[in-house]
Structure 1
Amino acid sequence: MNHPEKSTAPQNEQAAIEKRREHLKAESQRLIDMANNEPHSALKCIHQLSVAGGATEATYIAIEQRIVADQDAAGAYHLVLLAQNTPDLPIDARQLIELVVNKGDNTQRLALLKNLPLPPVNHIKETILASNDGEAIGQMNAYLQINPEGYGSHHMLGSSQKDRIVPLSPGNSIE
């Protein structure tokens, strides 16, 4: 007995994989072009990268270069969070974390403190204290009181999903 549908199934799977690969290559090139040519496009690129479901290494490098060129703390924050879930990305997460701590706002700094596995606790703490933002200092102190090592929310047993998902900073939208 011959089952023709069984013999075409692997071919159809392979064709679908090849079609997806070509789509990702095209999306990657489009995102690289956007990152290389549109100032302040990192958040848009990161969003579209997420929608596409992935990209080439060159795409991540182009987005990182756009973030650094623009000194874009919001873009740096989101790429760092993406990188913590994909450890082999070809980006310098330390440089991006430094950008967020030095140029970001206290909401982003507190989010790094809560969401990174091993955040630079002392540097974040010093920067928030230097801001004289009473509310942010209070939030930081409350968090560090229950988690003095700053091991990130995912290490805390009582952490809720709400603690892990941090939205874009106010005033930064993705289009």
Structure 2
Amino acid sequence: MSNQTLDEQAQKASAEQVLIEKRRERLKNDSMRIIEIASNEANSALKCIHQLSVAGGATEATYIAIEQRIVADQDPAGAYHLALLAQSTSDLPIDARQLIELVVNKGDNQQRLALLKNLPLPPVDIIKEQILASDDGDAIGQMNAYLQINPEGYGSHHMLASGQSDQIVPLSPGNSSN
């Protein structure tokens, strides 16, 4: 290899390192801004989750701040979205069970049905119990139809892997902020 080639490789590596450092700094700044919102604005979890998505990631403290905001507000919509994130990213510092329980216990039937369809392994019996207790004929019908084609309740991920087609279900009609 010539000295020119080695110099070009060193410059390229240096430029890549600069880009990595800039991205790291941007994520750190975005994380601090999101933590500030989650810490000071009630009912801001969905806003924070959206900004987290736009930023392309964040620090562990950011996820913890959003989870704390969700719990403080008892926000089933925020809990649903953060639980889906936690299910698809194994190393997040989030208690997904707590978020799922919040959706099941405080959410509406559309949120429960969305959990049933979108979590890899949803708590089928608990969701079924809550939907049946609501006496909501439409939701019961949707649940029964879904469980008829997927009695184990493995969620969309399993169905996609097995060749069936499904899609992420929005939380409520007209709310496609997944």
The normalised TM-score by structure 1 is 0.93
CA displacement 1:97-122 (0-9 Å, x = unmatched): 00000111111101111111111111
Structure 1: unaligned runs, 5 residues or longer: none
Counterpart of 1:2 in structure 2 is 3
Shift of 1:10: 0.3
**Structure 1 segments (4+ residues) deviating >3 Å:** 170-174
**Paired residues of 2:170 and 2:176 also in contact (CA < 8 A):** no
Counterpart of 2:23 in structure 1 is 20
Instruction: Work out which of the residue numbers 59, 63, 73 in structure 2 matches 1:56.
Output: 59
CA displacement 1:75-117 (0-9 Å, x = unmatched): 0000011111101110110000000001111111011111111
1:114 aligns with 2:124: no
**Paired residues of 2:110 and 2:171 also in contact (CA < 8 A):** no
Secondary structure at 1:164 match in 2: coil
The normalised TM-score by structure 2 is 0.91
Percent identity between matched residues is 79
Structure 2: unaligned runs, 5 residues or longer: none
Counterpart of 1:159 in structure 2 is 164
Counterpart of 1:47 in structure 2 is 50
**Where in structure 2 are the equivalents of 1:6-155 lying within 5 Å?**
6-155=9-158
CA displacement 1:43-70 (0-9 Å, x = unmatched): 0000000110000000000000000000
Shift of 1:172: 6.0
Distance 1:173 1:140 in 2: 20
Distance 1:114 1:145 in 2: 12
CA displacement 1:123-164 (0-9 Å, x = unmatched): 10010011111111001001111211111122122432xx33
Question: What's the Cα RMSD here?
Answer: 1.5
The number of residues matched between the two structures is: 172
